Amino acid sequence: EAGVTQSPTHLIKTRGQQATLRCSPISGHTSVYWYQQALGLGLQFLLWYDEGEERNRGNFPPRFSGRQFPNYSSELNVNALELEDSALYLCASSRSQGRNTEAFFGQGTRLTVV
Amino acid sequence: GQSLEQPSEVTAVEGAIVQINCTYQTSGFYGLSWYQQHDGGAPTFLSYNALDGLEETGRFSSFLSRSDSYGYLLLQELQMKDSASYFCAVEQAGTALIFGKGTTLSVSS
C-alpha cells in the first residue's frame, strides 16, 4: 500500500511569488493535515481537511490556504511568499478523525524562499 | 490555546534508559501521542495514551497522568538508531494533532 506522497520534494521560489504544494493521502483516508516545520519550531499545525471541507486552521495568515479534492488529495497554496516561509511542509493523512487516530506523514516538501 | 513543553535535547549512551517528559495545557483533551522523526525523514507514530498509566511497546513505553497533564516516553536498551527527534502531540476535540517542539535524542557509543 502506498504511503502519503508529496510533491515536489524541493521548491525554490522568490519573495512575493506563490507556491503550490501537493499531497496524496493513503487510500481510504479522508482527512489530510498540513504542518509547517521550521528549524527549531517543531511541527506547527496549518490546515485540516476532511471530506472536502476545511475543518480547522492553525494560527497562520490567510495567505496560507488550500483545498481538498473529491479524491481526497490536497494542495496547499502560499501566496506572497516571505523569507520566513522557508520550511519543510509536511502533509499527513488519517481515517476520519476519531480518538487514537494515527496520522501518517509524507516525506515533505522543502520550500526555500530567496 | 494549547501548549506543550518538552526538553529540547537529551543525550545518552547505548544500552541506557532515557525518559522524555511532556507537559501540556489544552482543553477537550482526548489523548497524548508520541512520534519519532529521523533527520530528513517523515514523523512516524510510536504510541498513544488516552488513559492514565503505562503503555508498553517493545523497548518503548509511554505514560500518561491526566490529572497532572503530564506524560513521558521511556526508551530502554538504547541503540544508535534511536538517535532522532521525538515529539509529543495532544489529540483533542475538533482539531488536528498539536505537536510540541520536539526533543532531539543523541545516542553515543
Give the model's pLDDT for residue B33.
95
Q: Which of chain A's residues have a Cβ under 8 Å away from the Cβ of B49?
A: none
Looking up cell 497533564 gives: B69
CA angle B93–B99–B103, rounded 5-degree value: 150
Looking up cell 483533542 gives: B92
Q: Which residues of chain B have pLDDT under 50?
A: none
Q: How far is B39 from chain A (nearest CA, A)?
A: 11
Sequence-distant (6+) residues with CB within 8 A of A41 are B101
Q: Which of chain A's residues have a Cβ under 8 Å away from the Cβ of B31?
A: 99-100
Give the model's pLDDT for residue A102.
87
Is B48 in Cβ contact with A102 (below 8 Å)? yes
Residue B39: DSSP 8-state: T
Q: Which of chain B's residues have a Cβ under 8 Å away from the Cβ of A92?
A: 43
Share of chain A above pLDDT 70, in %: 96
Full DSSP string of A24-81: EPPTT--EEEEEEE-TTS-EEEEEEEETTEEEEE-S--TTEEEEE-TTS-EEEEE-S-
**A4 has pLDDT over 80:** yes
Mean pLDDT calculated for residue range A80-104 = 89
Q: How far is B50 from chain A (nearest CA, A)?
A: 8
Comparing CB atoms, the residue among B30, B45, B98 nearest residue A102 is B45
Summarised one tens digit per residue, pLDDT across range B6-31 is 999 999 999 999 999 999 998 889 99
Question: In 3D, which of B91, A102, A65 has the Cα closest to residue B99?
Answer: B91
